[in-house]
Structure 1
């Protein structure tokens, strides 16, 4: 796998990868099997290489998030400190990865993982040559290397089945150091009279079968040791989106 990754990166014109990225690739386990739900529900959005290139455009991200992408990105960015160690357990379309990497700076470490090679290749094309960037193919239920100042779970939880939600949340919580943050940015139940509520309901029924549960469950409920964190929550755009941050005690 290491050789194929290196060849692909060179063909994409990235030049040499960073020492930390290369070292991680050498230590990485074989890529996990793609979950059935990902193949069955999201091939069109995340698995097909041509669709990855097509959908990762600012106008597409703005349309999907009702032009709230910059506000949500800033909300996540505000939780990070320069020089910190950050884990992001899924690749994200749009400018998020480059903006978070810039906030962390070259003295920090930005560890982005995803279960798919196509997504990791795509992230590497955006930030793979930055000294703080570190990428890995891994399952969000097992990803992480040691403890982090911040774990940023950005629009992942609404896309996974219920058992995955709990497994992911607990794995990520285990990688938060004392005083560190576990952050979720995701969908939330909009206000009853929100004009987008019927549209979002239809979109969830059609394209996002695992999302609507977040209308009735708090994200912190998926963390078994939630009492070890101090939680705060902020909603955006009439309640349609949320940022939930847990700061580990001690």
Structure 2
């Protein structure tokens, strides 16, 4: 669900609304990793496919009608006035809902490695003064410390070394008492009717996702002992929310 790819080379973000979101900076887009092109071009890179897939009906279909429950799970961890970082763009209405939950007294930053994804984010939230968007690799994203760092359906899309690098960077951006949140896939119960379908989806379309069936997300964080962790599963275990609160 998350976009982490670059189609536009080093072009700067071109705003798509009359009131662009505050810029993350003028740093050129990072070099696109080969695996992203090889695996995800069809879903996240081609502008015509982005236009087609960035619709709520598509999100609802992909997430088996659980999109609102998953969105609420993320919203529940945010308090108005929080400073929030989200290291990848997301299809659907999540970004607008989280931005509104943050409110005008907070800051909601969304970064992605691809211009077309940030353009789509700007369409949804550019009129909200608390928002910032920009081009950045999830392994290095962030400026300062945040109340909440929200990895929403990102970790299943990246290979093992990226999982570790992303998780460790995001953990380093959480202030004492703040939250590192992952919402992502999880191994469903054995009798889940969607289990064989998801297994095939992972086999053919999401080759890095099945790792989340056998690994806890907090194990990708080198300094995991500096956090207090909690986990809940959703929809028969097919999805999970993991939250780590950084110890003071």
Same fold (TM over 0.5): yes
Query: What are the within-5 Å matches in structure 2 for residues 106-121 of structure 1?
Result: 106-121=104-119
Higher normalized helix content (fraction of residues): 1
SS class of match (1:107): coil
- TM-superposition CA deviations, 1:64-87 (whole Å, max 9, x none): 000000000000000000011000
Offset of residue 30 of structure 1: 1.4
Supply the distance in 1 between the matched residues of 2:138 and 2:12 (Cα, whole angstroms).
Answer: 23
Supply the distance in 1 between the matched residues of 2:117 and 2:127 (Cα, whole angstroms).
Answer: 16
Offset of residue 16 of structure 1: 3.2
Q: Which has the higher contact order (CA 8 A, sep 6+)?
A: 2
- TM-superposition CA deviations, 1:196-247 (whole Å, max 9, x none): 1111001100100000010000000000000000000000000000000000
The verdict on how the C-alpha distance between 1:2 and 1:62 changes in structure 2, with shifts beyond 3 A counting, is same
Q: Which residue pairs with 1:131 in the alignment?
A: 129
Offset of residue 29 of structure 1: 1.7
Query: What are the within-5 Å matches in structure 2 for residues 22-171 of structure 1?
Result: 22=23, 24-25=24-25, 28-171=26-169
Supply the distance in 1 between the matched residues of 2:40 and 2:114 (Cα, whole angstroms).
Answer: 12
Supply the distance in 1 between the matched residues of 2:11 and 2:205 (Cα, whole angstroms).
Answer: 36
Offset of residue 4 of structure 1: 5.2
Supply the distance in 2 between the matched residues of 1:65 and 1:47 (Cα, whole angstroms).
Answer: 20
Supply the distance in 2 between the matched residues of 1:230 and 1:153 (Cα, whole angstroms).
Answer: 17
Q: Which residue pairs with 1:15 in the alignment?
A: 18
Offset of residue 34 of structure 1: 1.1
Q: Are the counterparts in 1 of residues 108 and 130 from structure 2 also a CA contact under 8 Å?
A: yes
SS class of match (2:123): helix
SS class of match (2:89): coil
Q: Which residue pairs with 2:211 in the alignment?
A: 213
Q: Which residue pairs with 2:5 in the alignment?
A: none
Supply the distance in 1 between the matched residues of 2:127 and 2:104 (Cα, whole angstroms).
Answer: 11
Unpaired stretches in structure 1, ≥5 consecutive residues: none
Give the TM-score normalised by structure 1.
Answer: 0.93
SS class of match (1:232): strand
Supply the distance in 1 between the matched residues of 2:54 and 2:27 (Cα, whole angstroms).
Answer: 27
**Aligned positions, number:** 240
* Match for residue 236 of structure 2 among 228, 235, 238: 238
Q: Are the counterparts in 1 of residues 10 and 28 from structure 2 also a CA contact under 8 Å?
A: no
Q: Are the counterparts in 1 of residues 153 and 184 from structure 2 also a CA contact under 8 Å?
A: yes
Q: Which moved further from structure 2: 174-183 or 28-37? A: 28-37
- TM-superposition CA deviations, 1:165-202 (whole Å, max 9, x none): 00000000000000000000000000011111111001
